[in-house]
Structure formats: C-alpha cells, structure tokens
Structure 1
Amino acid sequence: MKLVIAGSTGVVGTELVRQALSNPAITAVLALARRETPVPSRLSPGADASKLKSVICDDFENYSDSVKKELSGADACIWTIALIPSKYGSFPPDQAAKICRDYAVYAIEAMTNLAERSKPFRFVYFSGSGTERDPSKKPLLMGDYLLLRGEAETKVLAYAQQNPGKVEACVVKPGYIYSPDKHSALMGRVFGLGAAVFGFGEVDVRDLVAGVLDQVVDGFEKDTLSNADLDRIGKASSKKLAELRAKQ
C-alpha cells in the first residue's frame, strides 16, 4: 500500500509516520506537509525508514504538478490537517473554513482521480468528538467550530457515497488524545478528568494510530468511528502487532 499522511509533522501525523514505517502492509509513506517531514525518533524494530518520502506542499487547494506526480497511484490517505479549537478564533472565518473543510474536500477529489483504478481509494478524515453535522443542533460551546468540522465530515462522506467503487471514506472522531512524547503523566490524568466531565472520551495516540492504520489497510468497519471504536480497534491492533514482534 502506498499511503499519504497529510499533516505529517503534527503529534498524530508523526505517530502515523512512525507506525506506518514498521507496518509490512505499507510499502511507501508519502508525508504531505508544508515543511520537510523528518524520520521520527524511536522507530520500532523492523521499521524501514527508506519507505518515507517527504512531499512539501505550498497550496492545499491547487496541487502543483510535482505534488500530483508524487501522489499519483496512492492507495489511501489519512488527512489530519485542521485547526485545533484553541486556534480557531485566531483565523478569519473564510480562512478557517479553508483549512478545516475545503482542503480535505479538494484532497479526496484530487487524490481519488490520481489513484489506481483497480480498487477504491481509501480516505480517512480526522475530526473529533463533539462535532455536529446538523446545523439545527448547533452546540452551545464552540458551536461554529463544531459545525464547520461536521460540515467537512458530511462533504467527505458524500463524495464517497457519490462515487461508489471509486473511493471509500471514513471519519474518525477521537476525544482527548494523550501523547507520552508531549504530555506528562499529570497531564494525562487531567485529560482523563476532562474526558469524563465533557464526555468526549480519551485515547492514547499510539492506540489511536494503530487503530486507524488497521482500518486503512484492512478496510473500514463503518464510515464513522467514535473514540470508543478507535480505542477498541487500536488496543486490539497494538496487541496483535506486539505478539507478532515477540514471535520474530
């Protein structure tokens, strides 16, 4: 599998690259970002750093010919590019909509047309718990942001539904993402408390990524995966991979 990881320099993107390099089913990793994507530290045994190709993109609404050439023939894309809630208010509404919605919609259309025709292209849109697709149910807190992310989900899934056999799409909606590389154990407990209070759920980035890669490689369980789904699939996948490595 030739896999595109968009937003490859973020916390989730870095873990996606790290685990993808050690996944034998993934033969090439195209790291799509505005800057160079380095090889992550602490690679697992058996990881192949030569599978990584950094693809720098300056315009996510109109890919250059060189970017299109690199993306040509890809089998799947995991799209993590978006604004986090704390940064949403710092951008004008039209710019925020581009980053959170339009870039992803353009990506699924462009990459599907650049993909191999023998099998459906798989596209994962990273969203989050609490997003809302129904404008009549606008949340009281962060309503505009959550509706925008929900609109992006709707457009991505609609494109797949309108192109059966050509593309398959999945929206993943993790809650609070804990990363041991970025957060202390104390922060992890704070995340756990916040997850309990707001009902968003919590997931370890390693389990989250293991679950998403499992779905990309083997096929989507359903078109929308909740935090509980991702935690369940990820833990099972992490356990399976650990057992396989122990036997090697």
Structure 2
Amino acid sequence: MKVVIFGATGMVGQGVLRECLAAPDVELVKTIGRNPTGQRHPKLRELVHAEMWDYEGMDEELDGFDACFYCIGVSPGKLGEQQYTHIVRDMAVNAGAALSRVNPRMVFVYVSILGADSTEKSRLMWERVRGKTENALLALPFRAVYVLRPGMIQPLDGIKSKTPAYRIFYSLFKPVLPLLHRALPNLVVTTRQMGQAMLNVVRRGAQKRVLEAADINALSRS
C-alpha cells in the first residue's frame, strides 16, 4: 500500500512512520508537514508544506494513496475556541477534503483524543471541537474513515514528544508507564501499538468507526 502521513514529527506520527517503514506491504510513505522528519529511507518521500490549510493545485502530490494517517494534534493550553478550532478542525477537514477528492477509495485514519464528544455539546471546549472534527471527517466520501481515541500514550523506540511539558512528564513517569500499560490496557497504549493498529485497520477494517484504547490494543495484535 501507499500511505500519506500528516504530523510525522509528532509523537504518534513518529510511531506510525516507524511502523510503516518497517511494514513489508507498505511500498511508499509520503509525509506532509511544516518540517522535515530528518529521516532517510528508500520508501520515504517528504513534502514540506508551510500552509497546512491550503491544498489548492496539489492534486498530483496527493493522488495515488491507499491510506492517510492524520496525526496532527495540539494541546488546548491557553487557546481560545476559535483558534483551537482553526488548528484542529479546519486543518484536518481541509486536508481530508483535498484527499477525498483525488483518492475516494482511500482509508482515512484520524488520531483524536480520549473524551472527544461526538454530540458536540460538552461543556469542555476541546471535547466539543474534537467531536466536531471527528463528525466532519466521518462524513467525507472516503472508502472508510476511522477515528482513534487513545488515552495515555507510552513512547517507545526513542520517540519523544515535541511538547516540552509532555517531555518532562514522560521523563518523570518513564519507570511507571510500562506498569500502567500492563495494568490499564483500556487506557494506556504505546506508540508502537498505535502504528500497528493504524496499519491493521487499513488492512482489515474494524467493526467500529470510533476506536478507544482497548480497541487500539486489540487491533495492534490482529
């Protein structure tokens, strides 16, 4: 298969990129992002794209893919709802719309967050926005769209988060995370499992369109 990855420099994106490059049935991986990954591999092609909301005139760059793994995320932090919506929903939906136009047979996999509210009525801004994003992507005319809602993610294989606060957290809790992963398989997943589950949902599909941590763990083993 040929896959395109958005957000390959983030923690989840690094994980899925690693699994794609190692997978025998993946023949080509294209990453799209503002910064290069810094990796070199015969399968890897990189597109550095400054304006992540605009894909006009890029059909040739986006055509010919079997799957998209959309891994771009941002912490709500002090962002207002309008700014958070622009970064989270608008960016993802614009990319999805451009891809669905040229790859209607594609499987689109979106990495969301635990707690996203598909009713769009949550009192928490980030839950509403993520739910709106999921709903908009699920409505796009792809062969299939899947939403992954991981809980806590344990980074493996030397992968690190780009967010300073997260790096501090993972550094402090590094000895504990493997124990949590074993004790709470319905809450904790690894970057390796994320990548394997995303590939497997393209290969074999899933019974549900919205997949929680337990589903991700199960899919990674299938």
TM tier relative to shorter chain:
0.7 to 0.9
Is the counterpart of residue 208 in structure 1 residue 194 in structure 2?
yes
* Equivalent of residue 229 in structure 1, options 198, 215, 222: 215
Q: Which residue of 1 aligns with 2:153?
A: 177
Scaled by the length of structure 1, the TM-score of the pair is 0.76
Say whether 1:73 aligns with 2:64: yes
Query: Residue 4 of structure 1 contacts residue 78 of structure 1 at CA under 8 Å; is this kept in 2?
Result: yes
**CA gap 1:21/1:135 in 2 versus in 1, 3 angstroms:** closer
Letter in 1 for 2:130: R
Give the unaligned 5+ runs of structure 2.
Answer: 161-169
Give the conservation status (yes or no) of the 8 Å contact 1:4–1:74. yes
Q: Quick one: distance in 1 between partners of 2:197 and 2:215?
A: 9
Higher relative contact order, chain-length normalized (CA < 8 Å, sep 6+): 2
Q: Deviations over 1:104-132 (max 9, x none)?
A: 111111101122x6xx2110110011111
Q: How does 1:4-153 map to 2 (within 5 A)?
A: 4-39=4-39, 49-63=41-55, 65=57, 67-84=58-75, 88-115=76-103, 120-136=105-121, 138=122, 143-153=124-134
2:12 aligns to what SS in structure 1?
helix
Distance in 1 separating the partners of 2:62 and 2:216? 27
Question: Under a length normalisation based on structure 2, what TM-score does the superposition of the two structures give?
Answer: 0.84
Pairing of 1:229-248 with structure 2 (within 5 A): 229-234=215-220, 236-237=221-222
SS across alignment from 2:211 = strand
**Secondary structure of 1:131's aligned partner:** coil
- Say if 1:216 and 1:34 are closer, same or farther in 2 by CA, change over 3 A: same
Superposition deviation, residue 59 in structure 1: 1.3
Contact 1:101–1:149 (CA under 8 A) maintained in structure 2? yes
The list of structure 1 runs, each at least 4 consecutive aligned residues, that deviate by more than 4 angstroms after superposition, is 190-194
The structure with the greater share of residues assigned to helix is 1
Aligned residues of 1:112 and 1:167 also touching (Cα < 8 A): no
User: Which residue of 1 is the match for residue 165 of structure 2?
Assistant: none
CA contact (8 A) 2:81 2:125 kept: no
The whole-number CA distance in structure 1 between the counterparts of 2:89 and 2:36 is: 23
Question: Number of matched residues?
Answer: 211
Query: Distance in 2 between the 1:12 and 1:105 partners?
Result: 19
Query: What is the CA–CA distance in structure 1 between the aligned matches of 2:66 and 2:23, rounded to whole Å?
Result: 15
User: Following the alignment from structure 1 to structure 2, what is the Cα–Cα distance between the partners of residues 134 and 148?
Assistant: 10
Counterpart-to-counterpart distance in 2, 1:219 and 1:200: 20
Amino acid paired to 1:16: V
Q: Structure 1 CA distance, aligned partners of 2:102 and 2:131?
A: 26
CA–CA distance in 2 between the matches of 1:64 and 1:37?
A: 24
> Cα distance, 1:184 vs. partner?
4.8
Report the Cα distance in structure 1 between the residues aligned to 2:81 and 2:64, rounded to whole angstroms.
34
Query: For each residue in 1:169-216, what CA deviation from the matched residue of structure 2 results, as whole angstroms up to 9, or x when unmatched?
Result: 00011110001324458435268669x89x971111111211111112
CA contact (8 A) 1:81 1:99 kept: no
Tell me: CA distance 1:190–1:36, structure 2 relative to 1, closer, same or farther (3 Å): closer
Is contact 2:16-2:191 (8 Å) kept?
A: no
Structure 1: give runs of 5+ residues left out of the alignment: 41-48, 238-248
Contact 2:67 2:108 in 1 (8 A): yes
